[in-house]
Structure 1
Amino acid sequence: MTGRLSGSGRLSTRDRIIGAVDDVLAADLDATAARLQEISPVAAELIDPLRAFTARGKRIRALVTWWGFEIASRTPADPEALARIAGSVELLHAAALVHDDIIDDSDTRRGRPAVHAAFRDGHRTDVWEGDPVLFGTGAGIIAGDLCLSLSEEMYTAAGLPGLLAPEVVRRHDDFRRDVMVGQYLDIRLQAAPVPAADIAARAEEVLTFKSAKYSVEQPLLLGAAIGGADGGLLEALSAFGLPLGRAFQMRDDELGVFGDPAVTGKPAGDDLRQGKKTVLVGMTLTALAEAGRDDDAAWFSARLGAADLEDAEVDRMAALMRDSGAVAAFEDAIETRMHEARGALEDLRTRADLHADDVELLDFYVRTLTHRTS
């Protein structure tokens, strides 16, 4: 797992990190499949969809976990051990996605069948007994739980010194707990009646705990804590990671409406079909109300997530988002958060004594997360 660093800086390149994490994930899943095979010839079936599910991805959480350690520590870690820490983060993410697809009743992920859908379709193809939907859901939940267990195994197996330090334990606990709380906040927001004027604020709360913190800030802080970061450095990293995580998720919500299915791997307007009360939806309803377009706002609210929602209605919703000015305001909000992250990066440069090449690498990461098409 050798590889050069970013020019004259101390941060490892994206390619080096992604390659190392890919190798560890593949090797550990193969080893787990062998262990499951000893339990039963069919038990290893649980690994097949997980292997395909984790084989690809942006590795955005693995990257900042690794970089967080390198920013904080002046002592290089064993690359394989660091890859296991970063890989454990990826497995936690995979578990969250497997369960999220079940919760959202979403059949696709990254252009492939979601894990529960793959189990369901296999049941149908092989003409097994019972309800294929129930089997797929049950097998998907179990596969997600197995991912959580494997994440813990990989984290512990890294064997890095300091994993039991109080600050490291707290950061690891926060990381795992908050995403689950955020997931509940999300499904509650979708289920409970919420005044249109309050949707944007409630959705921002969900966005923060379900995605923003867990996508960037918390893995960054976990890696830094393992690397021995002090309180001041952790605060500086948080100031960089939290607004970036928010901008990342806001871009994801925009792509959930306007993204190209060939690139996102999701149907166009998927969030509207699922009735997602996102920040963008809240801003649209507020903009329509402020413009006195109460009929449009009422129609939008009534049809959002309707079981019989037609393609033409999805198109009309998207048009209302644009011509109400909500999309433009939403883009401005993304840019504001991106600039907050860049401003914090300048402070981080001084506090952590980062080389210009390291700052350039992190700035590229900012642009990758905020200006993307998938």
Structure 2
Amino acid sequence: MANDTFSALAAHPCPAVPAAPTHHAADLPLLVEYTLSEFVRAETQALAEVDQALEPLLSAARDAVLGGGKRVRPQFAYWGWRSVAGPHAPVGMVLPALAALELLHAFALVHDDVMDRSDTRRGRPTAHRALADGHRAAGLRGDAAHFGDAAAVLAGDLLLVWADRLMARAGVPDRTLREARAAYDRMRVEAIAGQFLDVLGDCARTWSPERALRTARLKTAGYTATWPLHYGAALADAGGGGFARGPLGRAFTRYGLAVGEAFQLRDDLLGLFGEPSVTGKPVGDDLGKPTMLLLLAQARASAAQRAELAAVLAAPRPDVARLAAVVRDTGAPEQLSEMIGERVADAHAALAAAPVDDDTRTALGELAAAVAWRAA
């Protein structure tokens, strides 16, 4: 079976990404999308030839990658790369490595949805729900929900392997790829540590604002902005990673932490006050998690408001609209928005001192605002 699998994969190599005649940032989302779609097509075709029964697994993995997304992580990595490579370097050589971050992201989302028991993602059923529905539709034996969870975990694992396979196709020297891999590995370790804290927060009796921010830094900031920037810069650095210890690395770390925290704090607001038709997820999906928004609301609440918050959260089916009204009345959303603004300002301050060209500084400033004040 293993030999058949590897033979099939070898028979369907991922098509080379055409070298782009231009390398404007505006081209990047389409280039990333092309890279992902061609890679996923080749990988799924190869595995489907091993056994057609794998189709539900492959469909779940394919949908997780190609079912939408903002593609912000490749953008941060691109500007990290460009800051070292310069404005005229051909982006085609590093596109596989940039696009691989979306496979890593898809892996994290599939597993996160299983852990959070989420029903929808981007307006569609989550992987584990879709797989469970497929189990029922096919009339298979056993528990459909358990099958959905187990199959979704495997789909996430497959996406993680795909990320490694796609990254390895980058046209950079082995030493350079090893340096980039160090940033990539740290990104993954921190994301897993942050995800554990997120899961622990669901059942912890107490949770501090400091720990909530630490969770955001590990789970979100590192793998959204900080390490993609370092990863991208390492892909262009043939000098053994020296930039990471210099002013550029320090600026990227400061900027990335600020932007990543702003991203997560905005996520907290959207989780309770977002528009489901825009976010693709129902409000209250993270109900009960010790988010910074909820911690601020509890700290600012009057005795009566605190009692009402506790009553809503303790209910078997919490009233999300009532919770949102109480949280809003505490003034916590305004305070959280101020915290987001402070982080955007800190990101701009980091850019002002960074040794980057004006185009990079402008683009990263715009990215900071885009992720901090996004609607979905």
TM-score, with length taken from structure 2: 0.88
Check whether the contact 1:220–1:241 (CA below 8 A) recurs between aligned residues: yes
Provide, for residues 99-153 of structure 1, a one-character-per-residue CA deviation record: whole Å limited to 9, x for no partner.
Answer: 0000000010010111111101111122221111011011100000000000011
- Tell whether 2:276 aligns with 1:267: no
Q: Give the RMSD, CA atoms, in angstroms.
A: 1.8
Aligned to 2:346: 340
Aligned to 1:9: none
Equivalent residues, number: 351
Provide, for residues 251-285 of structure 1, a one-character-per-residue CA deviation record: whole Å limited to 9, x for no partner.
Answer: 1110000000110011122222xx11101100110
Identity of aligned residues (%): 34
Check whether the contact 2:111–2:153 (CA below 8 A) recurs between aligned residues: yes
- SS where residue 158 of structure 1 aligns? coil
- Tell whether 2:157 aligns with 1:157: no
Say which is worse superposed, 103-112 or 68-77, in terms of deviation: 68-77
Displacement of 1:301 after TM fit? Answer: 2.9
Aligned to 1:226: 235
Aligned to 2:94: 82
Say which is worse superposed, 227-236 or 129-138, in terms of deviation: 227-236
Give the one of 35, 53, 69 matched to 1:24. Answer: 35
CA distance in 2, matches of 1:226, 1:142: 29
Q: Return the letter of the residue paired with 2:219.
A: K
- Tell whether 2:218 aligns with 1:200: no
- Tell whether 2:195 aligns with 1:186: no
- Tell whether 2:124 aligns with 1:108: no
- Tell whether 2:281 aligns with 1:279: no
Aligned to 2:256: 241
Q: Return the letter of the residue paired with 1:184.
A: F
Check whether the contact 1:163–1:169 (CA below 8 A) recurs between aligned residues: no
Note closer, same or farther for the CA distance 1:32–1:77 as it changes in structure 2 (3 Å cut): farther
CA distance in 2, matches of 1:222, 1:359: 18
Give the one of 218, 226, 230 matched to 1:217. Answer: 226
- SS where residue 52 of structure 2 aligns? coil
TM-score, with length taken from structure 1: 0.89
Note closer, same or farther for the CA distance 1:173–1:147 as it changes in structure 2 (3 Å cut): same
CA distance in 2, matches of 1:80, 1:317: 49
CA distance in 1, matches of 2:322, 2:135: 38
Aligned to 2:361: 359
Displacement of 1:86 after TM fit? Answer: 1.1
Provide, for residues 50-107 of structure 1, a one-character-per-residue CA deviation record: whole Å limited to 9, x for no partner.
Answer: 2222221100101111111110124865533311111111100000000000000001
CA distance in 2, matches of 1:119, 1:163: 40
**What are structure 1's unaligned runs of at least 5 residues?**
6-11
- Tell whether 2:270 aligns with 1:252: no
Check whether the contact 1:115–1:140 (CA below 8 A) recurs between aligned residues: yes
CA distance in 1, matches of 2:364, 2:115: 33
CA distance in 2, matches of 1:324, 1:308: 22
CA distance in 2, matches of 1:78, 1:49: 33
Note closer, same or farther for the CA distance 1:167–1:160 as it changes in structure 2 (3 Å cut): closer
Displacement of 1:339 after TM fit? Answer: 0.3
**What are structure 2's unaligned runs of at least 5 residues?**
1-18
Aligned to 1:48: 59
Provide, for residues 282-305 of structure 1, a one-character-per-residue CA deviation record: whole Å limited to 9, x for no partner.
Answer: 0110101xxxx2232133134326
Say which is worse superposed, 225-234 or 18-27, in terms of deviation: 225-234
Displacement of 1:167 after TM fit? Answer: 4.2
Q: RCO (CA 8 Å, sep 6+): is it higher in 1 or 2? A: 1
Note closer, same or farther for the CA distance 1:65–1:163 as it changes in structure 2 (3 Å cut): farther
